[in-house]
Amino acid sequence: MSSVRSSAGSAPVDLPITRTHPFDPAPQLAALREESPLCRLRYPDGHVGWLATSYDLARRVLVDSRFSIKPMRPPVGDPVTTAEVQEVERAQPEAEGALILLDPPQHTKIRRLQAAYFTVQRIGEHRAGLERLVGDQLDAMERQGSPVDFVRAFAAPVPGLAICAMLGVPGSDREHFERPTQVSEDPRSTAEEQIAANNEFRAYSHGVIQRKRAEPGDDLLSEVIATSDLSDAELAGLALQLFSAGHETTVSMLALSLLALLGDRRRWEQLCADPSLVDGAVEELLRYLTIVQVGAFTRTATEDVELDGTVVKAGEGITVSLSAANRDPSKFPDPDLLDLARDASGHVAFGHGRHICLGQHFARLELQVALAALTRRFPTLRLAVPSEEVPMYPSEQFLYGVHELPVAW
């Protein structure tokens, strides 16, 4: 008799998203990882798929080419939701260059072209510019005087300004990128609102691309135009992808990291006393916080796939919980402890496999430069309100973060 269990086996669970601690994922995820790391999952629209919660399963699913990035492949999505998604995609030709929406071979072609610009070495060339940008923003924050909202004064503007500088567009133009990304990541947004935001972005981005074609500059967008055959839609997709994947995520990481560090003065003082810890601390904070809560890491089986004796049938969806994987004690001992001296390499905060975040090295550099500058400039930095009074994003939002973070020095 076969040892493979039927995909119709266990009763489905609802996706656990409710946190009981600001920095910890929903506690039910740990129980599921221990008892049933691959279990049946009931999605909000009522259809049933799978949930993977262990580190090993997360990496295996995300690297397996038999799982498609297309989350709405029938019969995974209900007809109404599928129709809404297709309506937005039809109105969004710039998605041609957005890797998060593509499978091979289109993904392979565009990723190969784009990856050369995002190596560790190439991203390292932006360090000096980032250090100047961060220094200028900290100067502005200091001029405001203590206390300030760290989100508004630093965490929100820095990532947008950094991406604009990389693309060679004025920092004041970042609102053209921020609006479509904010609308797309807001679960309350309608298809009509997303289409309107995308139309605004398309008009802006295609104007920028035409100017870059006519008058190239010393920037990423001009270089990609000169060295590739990407269409205007694919170039716009690259620009939007940088913002959608690298703006709100870095805003959240900057603010949540500071909240976690200032919540325990010993950690903040440890970093201030030993700047050599910063790079490792960034990796540990990425692992510990894992800000992507829902969405993004759902895949669809294109054929029957056996995982540890369980069959995920063709057409079924499987969601990978990155936060549960990054708290797996089989990979990270004492995983619920924020340990700035831990070797957190191998975490999956940026995903894994062919869809691992293209801008991961840029995000790391932003966090490293920002934390190093903050500890150097503001060693007496502290929370201006009790940590329990800091307003957090709702659990059902795509990203986890804080609305505001009052700090003083």
Sketch out the chain's domains with CATH numbers: 13-408 (1.10.630.10)
Taking only the tens place, the pLDDT of each residue in 137-184 is 999 999 999 999 999 999 999 999 999 999 899 998 888 877 777 777
> CA-CA distance, 31 to 42, in Å (whole number)?
17
Q: Give percent above pLDDT 90 in the chain.
A: 60
Lowest mean pLDDT among 167-176, 235-244, 352-361: 235-244
Residue burial 235-263, b: 16+ Cβ < 10 Å; e: rest: bbbbbbbbbbbbbbbbbbbbbbbbbbbbb
pLDDT for the residue 8: 42
Lowest mean pLDDT among 86-100, 306-320, 341-355: 86-100
> CA-CA distance, 103 to 302, in Å (whole number)?
11
Q: Give the mean model confidence (pLDDT) for residues 93-122.
A: 69
Beta bridge partners of 317: 300
Residue 2 above 70 pLDDT? no
Q: Are 394 and 278 in contact (CB under 8 A)?
A: no
**Angle, in degrees to the nearest 10, between helices 278-289 and 248-262:** 100
> CA-CA distance, 57 to 62, in Å (whole number)?
8
Q: Residue 180, preceding bond cis, omega within 30 degrees? A: no
Lowest mean pLDDT among 296-305, 308-317, 359-368, 374-383: 296-305
Residue 129 above 90 pLDDT? yes
Q: Give percent above pLDDT 70 in the chain.
A: 85
Q: How many CB atoms lie within 10 A of CB 150?
A: 24
What is residue 223's three-state secondary structure? helix
Lowest mean pLDDT among 55-59, 204-208, 386-390: 204-208
In which region does residue 98 sit, left (phi positive, over 0), alpha (psi from -120 to 50) or beta (all else)? beta
pLDDT for the residue 5: 39
How many C-alpha atoms does 75 have within 13 Å on its Cβ side?
A: 5
Instruction: Beginning with the edge strand found earlier in the chain, give each strand of the sheet holding 382-383 in spatial order.
Output: 148-149, 406-408, 382-383
Residue 35 above 90 pLDDT? yes
pLDDT: is 232 or 304 the higher one? 304
Q: Give the mean model confidence (pLDDT) for residues 319-323.
A: 95
pLDDT for the residue 203: 85
Residue 6 above 50 pLDDT? no
> CA-CA distance, 370 to 367, in Å (whole number)?
5
Contact residues for 109 (Cβ-Cβ < 8 A; gap 6+): none
Place 20 in a pLDDT band, splitting at 50, 70 and 90. Answer: confident
pLDDT for the residue 3: 39
Residue 11 above 70 pLDDT? yes
pTM of this prediction?
0.88
Residue 93 above 50 pLDDT? no
Residue 54 above 60 pLDDT? yes
Alpha-carbon distances of 4 from 9, 363, 391, rounded to whole Å: 11, 41, 46
Residue 75 above 50 pLDDT? no
Most confident option among 68-72, 110-114, 402-406? 402-406
Alpha-carbon distances of 148 from 38, 145, 157, 405, 407, rounded to whole Å: 44, 7, 14, 8, 6
Residue 101 above 70 pLDDT? no
Lowest mean pLDDT among 43-52, 130-139, 249-258, 389-398: 389-398
How many C-alpha atoms does 339 have within 13 Å on its Cβ side?
A: 12
Q: Of 308, 132, 38, give the one whose Cα is nearest residue 140.
A: 132
Place 202 in a pLDDT band, splitting at 50, 70 and 90. Answer: confident
Contact residues for 135 (Cβ-Cβ < 8 A; gap 6+): 373
Beta bridge partners of 49: 41
Average pLDDT of every residue of the chain = 86
pLDDT for the residue 296: 56
**Angle, in degrees to the nearest 10, between helices 232-246 and 220-227:** 150
**Residue the block writes with tokens 């894992």:** 290
Query: In this structure, what token pair is assigned to residue 206?
Result: 């295609």
pLDDT for the residue 99: 57
Q: Give the mean model confidence (pLDDT) for residues 69-97.
A: 51
Q: Give the mean model confidence (pLDDT) for residues 330-341.
A: 97
Q: Give the mean model confidence (pLDDT) for residues 298-317.
A: 94
What is residue 180's three-state secondary structure? helix
pLDDT for the residue 4: 38
Residue 364 above 90 pLDDT? yes
Alpha-carbon distances of 105 from 65, 108, 111, 296, rounded to whole Å: 11, 5, 10, 20
Residue 122 above 50 pLDDT? yes
What is residue 63's three-state secondary structure? helix
Beta bridge partners of 320: 52
Taking only the tens place, the pLDDT of each residue in 273-292 is 999 999 999 999 999 999 98
